[in-house]
Structure 1
């Protein structure tokens, strides 16, 4: 089962994770690799993963590649509205273009990982 882990972390935290993974890869340790998507803030995450876009991603989870019109049919929305949301998800790296055409969310599940702390 392939999981996409969605995180809220700073650019410094993301870069530290990448550096650790590169060191491990150079040392021949291929374990510890995960598929993750990081956002710098709660607000940014919600701008990209709106409820309607999460509905799209949920409908695509574990389904393989599909034409954009099929995505629209599965979530019961018109193609024009879906197209704009799919473009945003593509640009943000949440979904990918499929080799055979259409779009794909190549994961079986999504795991959100973040903490909420007091402001002061």
Structure 2
């Protein structure tokens, strides 16, 4: 299964994965965010609905994505651009957009703060 992992990545983790990749160790598809706030401001409920509508569908026009989620084309266009910017979806050859993964895994830990 082709899964992308969205995670909160400390600089050290990103560097460790990059070094592993340079050594030929498979790292899998991973998109790291600097904070949980950044992850959740990027992966909003409406954007998550877009991903759900696009999974296993091949290339779709933005108009078709908007129809599937029951939203305005202009609003969906903005959300699609944000998802493209972070690498979760891609522009498709010949037009439209594609969700190139079979699944999304979100990985982060909520820890108690030192108050």
TM-score (norm. length: structure 1): 0.89
Query: What is aligned with 2:78?
Result: 84
Residues 23-78 of structure 1: CA deviation (Å, up to 9, x unaligned): 1x2xxx5xx33111111110000111011011111111121111111100110001
Measure how far apart 1:79 and its partner are: 0.3
* Residue 8 (structure 2) pairs with residue 4 (structure 1): no
Query: What is aligned with 1:64?
Result: 58
Q: What is the alpha-carbon distance in structure 2 between the residues aligned to residue 33 and residue 17 of structure 1?
A: 7
Q: What is the alpha-carbon distance in structure 2 between the residues aligned to residue 15 and residue 88 of structure 1?
A: 25
* Residue 77 (structure 2) pairs with residue 102 (structure 1): no
Measure how far apart 1:12 and its partner are: 2.4
Count how many residue pairs are aligned between Structure 1 and Structure 2.
Answer: 114
Q: What is the alpha-carbon distance in structure 2 between the residues aligned to residue 63 and residue 37 of structure 1?
A: 22
Q: What is the alpha-carbon distance in structure 2 between the residues aligned to residue 108 and residue 57 of structure 1?
A: 10
Q: Unaligned regions of 5+ residues in structure 1, if any?
A: none
Query: What is aligned with 1:44?
Result: 38
Q: Unaligned regions of 5+ residues in structure 2, if any?
A: none
| Runs ≥4 residues deviating over 2 A | none
Aligned-residue CA RMSD (Å): 1.2
Q: What is the alpha-carbon distance in structure 1 between the residues aligned to residue 66 and residue 43 of structure 2?
A: 17
| Kept in 2: contact 1:62–1:109 (CA 8 A) | no
